[in-house]
Amino acid sequence: MLSYTSIIYALFFFFLCIVFQIHRWRRCKYPILTDYPIFGMIIPLLWNLPRVHDFITQLLKKQHRNTCEFMGPWFTSMNYLVTSDPINLHHMLSKSFDNYVKGHEYHEIFEAFGDGIFNTDSETWKYNRSLFHSILKIRDFEMFQKKIIQNKLEKSLIPLLDHVQQQGSVVDLQDVFNRFTFDNICSVVLGCDPNCLSIDFPDVACEKAFNQIEEGIFYRHKVPKSVWKLQKWLQIGEEKNMTKACKTYDQFVYANIKSKREELSKCRKNNEMVDLLTTLMKEEKGSQVVMHDDKFLRDVAFNLFVAGRDTITSALTWLFYLIATHPLVEAKILEEIKENFGTINIEKKLGIDELKKLVYLHGAICEALRLFPPIPFERKQAIKGDILPSGHIVNPNTIILFFLYSMGRFEEIWGKDCLEFKPERWISERGGIVHTPSYKFISYNAGPRTCLGKDLSFIQIKMTTIAILSKYCVQVVDGHVPILSHSIVLLMKNGLKVRITKREI
């Protein structure tokens, strides 16, 4: 039987080992993942949490085919296979799509998503996918969204930037985009505008709650399931904040659903394109009226908020940061706008076909998405055992994490200039857009789950970029260095602090 002295010596020796390992991490150029007894590999991960995206990228660069195992603490479910190998992703997302699902644990972690399209598998997912495809891919919806964005640009975004420019004040452009996209998605999905984007920058409870929910979901990835489950049961810490945020969001959405149902009961049917909530309430199949309950509509709204608000905010924020710090790219974008449209006024309505002419701008957007994908990592769970193309064995129920952020930084995928912001890499010799396989450029997912709103997102990003760049110069404040956020969406933790000045025409 071990004496107390032996136990103390053992703990002291273990402590010294950790201190020695930390000293090595500080001196070492590359990260080291040590599998400790009891703690597994969680210690180096937590130590590098402030720079977790770059830590994992450096780690995967050292592994065979950018793939490795991560072993969590004993008696937890934090054992993962981690990969950023494009061929592995192609295998999971396309060739063996049916074997790699979201799974029950994913559904628990992302419970705020409910039974929406991002959180489901099998028949439920297929139904959601078919439903959205029938709506999002019609020309009328495309024009409906474009009209809402144009209206928000003219009446809110440009007046706000004019005010900021006249005041000569510093503004957080990420916060501006957050409010802009939140108002847009509320108008598109719910048919209401909460007016988050105004000169006084009001606090809007639902918008803040939505941000809190996403932070809570990321927290559930950082700690063992038993920890966040206990916090949820006790209603303490992050889980208490998550519960309050979900309640605030649900009250907002359910109130809108109720008012929509009352409105529809009083109005006669018309064929005009309206918000998605109303469209789903009026959906018909043949002579049958399809009745969606309130919970279904709530889950649809939440999933579309993530797809149409956060990802666009992220894309716009990183795009404007990269353009502002690369003057030659900015000059080429402005030259392309001038060549195609002459002097642009915000009131001028650019058609969808006209927006497609902006090849260089399209390339700049793709570059921003490659370097800073809005969703920095994804997860899948294997149903049956399998062997990945990299040779790694996948046991049944294995959870696989794949890091989109890392993929944009691998030389073997993008070349030795992979860390450079070069829109030219997306433009062919003939001046067209270079096609890149979706499993390499995976910002819009790949295979059957490829994002249905890809084209709509490019329209919104291009319209917003043209409206701002043709009127203003955006300058990042001296000394401001973006810090990557800890969330399921890749934003700037410290915002994007800029000054706005009038552009010389």
pLDDT digits (tens, 9 = 90+) for 136-192: 777 788 888 889 999 999 999 999 999 999 999 999 999 999 999 999 999 999 988
Whether the per-residue pLDDT at 391 is higher than 70: the answer is yes
Tokens for 495? 């915002």
pLDDT-above-90 percentage for the chain: 55
pLDDT band with cut points at 50, 70 and 90 for residue 347: low
Average pLDDT, the chain: 86
Question: For tokens 């918000």, what's the residue?
Answer: 275
What is the β-pairing status of strands 399-403 and 80-83? parallel
Backbone angles phi, psi at 158, to 5 degrees: -65, -45
What is residue 2's predicted lDDT score, i.e. its pLDDT? 46
Q: 270 Cβ partners below 8 Å, 6+ apart? A: none
Q: 59 Cβ partners below 8 Å, 6+ apart? A: 30, 31, 33, 68
Assess contact for 275 and 186: CB atoms under 8 A. no
Question: For tokens 């049944």, what's the residue?
Answer: 396
pLDDT band with cut points at 50, 70 and 90 for residue 11: very low
Query: Binding site for heme, residues?
Result: 451
Backbone angles phi, psi at 135, to 5 degrees: -100, -50
Assess contact for 492 and 347: CB atoms under 8 A. no
pLDDT band with cut points at 50, 70 and 90 for residue 28: very low
Q: Where are the domains of the chain?
A: 96-373+408-502
pLDDT digits (tens, 9 = 90+) for 421-440: 999 999 998 889 999 999 99
Query: Binding site, residues?
Result: 451
pLDDT band with cut points at 50, 70 and 90 for residue 271: low
CA angle 364, 367, 373 (to 5 degrees): 125
Question: For tokens 């800073």, what's the residue?
Answer: 372
State how far the alpha carbon of 50 is from the alpha carbons of 27, 216, 378, 488, 493, in Å: 17, 17, 19, 15, 11
pLDDT digits (tens, 9 = 90+) for 46-70: 777 778 889 899 989 988 899 988 8
Q: Say what the pTM is.
A: 0.88
Residue 159 burial (10 A CB sphere; 0-12, 13-18, 19+): middle
Q: Which CATH number fits domain 96-373+408-502: 1.10.150.170, 1.10.630.10, 2.30.29.30, 1.10.1490.10?
A: 1.10.630.10
What is residue 286's predicted lDDT score, i.e. its pLDDT? 45
